[in-house]
Copies of this chain bind each other. A is one copy, B any other.
Amino acid sequence: MRRSRLARLKTGASTNSLGHDGAGVHNWRARTSVVERTRALCGLLLSERGEASGVALARNLITLYEAMDRASREAFFDRLARDFDPNPAAIARAAQKYQESPTPEAFLALSATVEAPRQELFRRINFAPGGTRTLVAMRGHLLEFLRSRPHLSSVEFDLKHLLGSWFNRGFLRLERIDWHTSAEVLEKLIQYEAVHEINGWPDLRRRLAKDRRCFGFFHPALPDEPLIFVEVALVRGQVAALEPLLDLNAPVTDPVTANTAVFYSINNCLKGLRGISFGSFLIKQVTEELRLEWAEIKRYITLSPLPDFARALREDGVNMGSTHFPRERLAWLLRDYAGALTRRAGCDDAVEALGRLLERPLDHRRVLAAPLSRLALVYLTQLKHDGTALDPVAQFHLANGARLERINPFANLRPYGLSRSFGVMANYRYLPGELEHNHERFLCGGEIAMAPKLKRDYEEMAAPEHGRVVIAAHPEAK
């Protein structure tokens, strides 16, 4: 009897026995049917039969899942949350026993009760080819529902825990990506590049020329899928602007002459792995690879956006002044540049003048450069109440142990660069010998490492009477 039910499930995977009612009902029935069939397969996969025919059952389950539309997936996730949750009564019993007598047996029993059955289900889905890919996709889909259906967070928690364990650093391979890489993978760079869009294959080709390097992490179960990748330019000297790096027609230089590696774009690829962190490992290993390849390269540096700089300066998108930068504070920070700004803008108030000039920043580069640099410096060194940096990119690099090296006004003149950060970009520098120290100072005390020159700027800016706390709201200051 169970056999015929399985047979039905199996054949059902490709056919639908539906009535002749209206399309809405039809869809609802079809959806119910696919969700119910999938749920039943989940049950079988967790049963004895799952041991004998795990691969086949998992393969069917994957096929069904792939055929689901958004609504079916939502219903399916509901079933995963409801039917494959740990049993509260059993947990209560096991917890009770453990409290009465905390023996190893009682502990193991509690442990076993606390793990949701869907964890084993997910592991068994992985028996079939394509299982890992499906589970990653599943979490990607699931994340879309979390806001509207918060009870799914327990399912998401289990998936994240599992994927976090499986995509452990030790299982990732660093691979060089260049023009010898397959189109399959290269196409994904175009698709996933979110920092500085790749405009088709000729743009990609330039970014993979011999004065560039691109590296990605790959997992053995997803061989054609970069998990994260970083684009690096090998140059001579400072890199204070983006355009030369993105120019398709920039002459290709001989990397033998380079002394600096610029990490100018780093991108996570798979939504389903969001929150599982690869970036720090990637930058460190790429730095190591480059060091081995090019002994002459002495400087490992990023050219990074300040994604929320504009938003931090003006709350409503027009006027200057915000929670993070109240008008009085802005005025104080602009004190050295007030004359120039007001003259140029033809208005009395420096803050208002700044706001006006920033409407067409490229027309006022000369007068805006210095105040923007100062504001950016304050913005980048600003910490939130939880001790993390206000700027997410700064948070990433500072937590990695990099130091803030330089601030470059008018470095990114592309529309998104101007609108999000008035064109400002920052360099963070990875000094291998300092990483560990900086990391700890930042995480434990909120101290931000800076290049000496920047440090001086920072200290000069703060008049003694104002003190450090005024400049950047470090948590310990509260």
Interface residues of A (CB under 8 A from B): 2-3, 48-49, 51-55, 86, 88, 91-92, 95-96, 98-99, 102, 104, 107-108, 110-111, 114-115, 123, 126-129, 131-132, 151, 153-154, 157, 162, 165-166, 168-171, 179-184, 186-187, 200-201, 205, 220-221, 224, 280-281, 284, 399-401, 435-437, 439-440, 443-444
Contact = CB atoms under 8 A, between A and B. Distances in A.
A427 B49 CA distance: 24
A440 B52 contact: yes
B168 A165 contact: no
B96 A169 contact: no
B170 A221 contact: yes
A166 B169 contact: no
Contacts of A224: 180
Contacts of A128: 170
B98 A171 contact: no
A377 to B, nearest CB: 24
10 contacts: A51-B399, A52-B440, A55-B284, A95-B96, A104-B154, A127-B169, A127-B170, A171-B221, A179-B182, A183-B205
A186 B186 CA distance: 12
A170 B54 CA distance: 11
Nearest to A123: B168
A104 B154 CA distance: 7
Given A179-B183, A200-B201, A53 B436 contact: yes
A427 B444 CA distance: 63
B54 A171 contact: no
Contact of A183 (B3, B91, B186): B186
A223 B165 CA distance: 20
Nearest to A285: B55
B184 A180 contact: yes
Secondary structure class of chain A's binding surface, majority of residues: helix
Contacts of A184: 179-180
A98 B102 contact: no
Given A51-B439, A107-B154, 7 more contacts: A52-B400, A53-B435, A86-B107, A92-B98, A123-B165, A127-B170, A183-B183
B440 A48 contact: yes
Nearest to A162: B165
A55 B281 contact: yes
A213 to B, nearest CB: 16
A37 B96 CA distance: 38
Q: Most B CB atoms within 10 A — which of A98, A154, A183?
A: A183
A439 B52 contact: yes
Nearest to A105: B153
Given A3-B437, A183-B181, A183-B183, A444 B110 contact: no
Nearest to A438: B52
Nearest to A3: B437
A182 B165 CA distance: 31
Contacts of A111: 114-115, 157
B170 A435 contact: no
A215 to B, nearest CB: 16
A224 B58 CA distance: 28
A442 to B, nearest CB: 9
A95 B99 contact: yes
Given A54-B169, A114-B111, A165-B166, A91 B96 contact: no
A248 to B, nearest CB: 15
A447 B127 CA distance: 27
B104 A98 contact: no
Contacts of A187: 179
A171 B181 CA distance: 23
A44 to B, nearest CB: 11
